Amino acid sequence: MHLGNINEAEKRLEQALALDPDQPMANSSLGLVKVREGKFAEAKPLLKRAIAANSQNYLTHFNYAYALSREGMDANDMISGYTTEAADEMRAELRKAIELSPTFPESYRLLAFVNLVRNEQIDESIALTKRGLSLSPGRGEFGLMLAQLYLRKQDFKSARELLEPMARGNSTDKQLRAHAQILLDSIARYDEQVARFKERQGETREDGRSNGSGNIGGQPLGLKRRGDVANASTQPEESSSEEPPADTGNQIPIRKPEAGEEQVRGLLVRIECDPKGATFIVKVGEQTLRFRTTNFNGIQFTAYTPDISGDITCGARNPANPVVITFHSSKDARAKFNGDVVAIDFVPKDFELKQNPEVRSQKPE
């Protein structure tokens, strides 16, 4: 297997298991082969049998957790979320892998990833990622993971300190540099929005009410009411406990598209999260559209209905939310997404956008 002859390795291991189906090392090794082949459903029972035999091989526990983590991912390595049971099982196996081999960095990174998807144990995940980075200095993927964890905590200073060297570095990994720059750009947009928010804080508000507040993916979400100015990461100093009445019809002052922006009204049915960002799945008539962001902080969220508050998390929206999406359209017919999200307005059910253009779905439903 290590010499690259996967087919021969698979044949020999199957012969071994024919002689002794419960042999831990053969189950573990064949499970590893299946993981390398991307056959995660076939790998799981093999690795589980090895674990049941009290395997002390850290790779057995790591690969079982890795196979579990791949369940539900699409071809683009996107995951909408993990159940509590799946997350707990992966955490237990990864902690066992760390106990058996504290110097294997990938266990720390996968455990941090599970927590990032679940938006749980973020402080612990920062410590885990730092430990992994200390074991594997200079690994860009660890730096990106750590930066995203800092962004979840709105620690933009620490995130920027990590991202700036990566974005301007001489690394041959162009994708790494591009991703770092995208995250830096989102922080810059956030800073601009905060500056505008502070400038307007003293202005008389149209309805005389305070900003609402909410949360997306565990990050504070500025829910802008009519006449208010807020953004995805700014919470007002004072929040009114009284809910404003919902606006109806086209009286709502929906954000006007700027140059290069488009808008569409539809139903937000799902938010899919992955290590590189999130995808908002929106139904517009018979179309299913996919809008992408690399970081929640770059999106302006606005609520014109009293039912949007608290946590807005990754996964299915039940019930689906009427929204107006402002986006930069993808002009590439081969693109996997219809555009990059700029703003999301949560609107009443009877709200109609005056112009709701047909947006061609770039990806089959």
Sign of CA dihedral 104, 107, 110, 111: negative
pLDDT of residue 80: 67
Gap between the Cα atoms of 365 and 358, Å rounded: 16
Q: pLDDT band at residue 225, thresholds of 50, 70 and 90?
A: very low
Q: How far, in Å, are 32, 41, 185, 227, 274 from residue 67 at the CA level?
A: 10, 7, 34, 49, 16
Residue 22 lies in a domain: yes
> Are 161 and 235 part of one and the same domain?
no
In which domain, by residue range, is 260 found? 212-346
Mean pLDDT to the nearest integer, 303-328: 76
Residue 93 lies in a domain: yes
Does position 346 have pLDDT exceeding 80, yes or no?
yes
Residue 314 lies in a domain: yes
pLDDT of residue 306: 58
Contacts by residues 172-177 (CB-CB < 8 Å, ≥ 24 positions apart): 173/140, 176/140, 176/141, 176/144
pLDDT of residue 158: 92
> Are 12 and 71 part of one and the same domain?
yes
Residue 352 lies in a domain: no
> Are 172 and 33 part of one and the same domain?
yes
Strand order in the sheet with 310-312: 219-223, 212-216, 310-312
Q: Copy the structure tokens of residue 215.
A: 């949360």
Residue 198 lies in a domain: no
> Are 123 and 22 part of one and the same domain?
yes
Name the CA radius of gyration of the chain, rounded.
Answer: 23
**CATH number of the domain within which 153 lies:** 1.25.40.10
Does position 109 have pLDDT exceeding 90, yes or no?
yes
**pLDDT tens across 153-207, in order?**
888 899 999 999 888 876 667 888 888 888 888 788 777 766 765 665 554 344 4
**With pLDDT > 90 as the criterion, what percentage of the chain qualifies?**
28
E strand spans, the chain: 212-216, 219-223, 262-274, 277-284, 287-293, 300-303, 310-312, 315-329, 339-346
Global pTM reads 0.56
Mean pLDDT to the nearest integer, 58-69: 91
For 57, half-sphere exposure in the C-beta direction (CA atoms, 13 angstrom radius) is: 20
> Are 100 and 138 part of one and the same domain?
yes
Residue 168 lies in a domain: yes
Domain count, the chain: 2
Gap between the Cα atoms of 233 and 212, Å rounded: 12
> Are 281 and 169 part of one and the same domain?
no
Residue 38 lies in a domain: yes
> Are 68 and 115 part of one and the same domain?
yes
> Are 155 and 17 part of one and the same domain?
yes
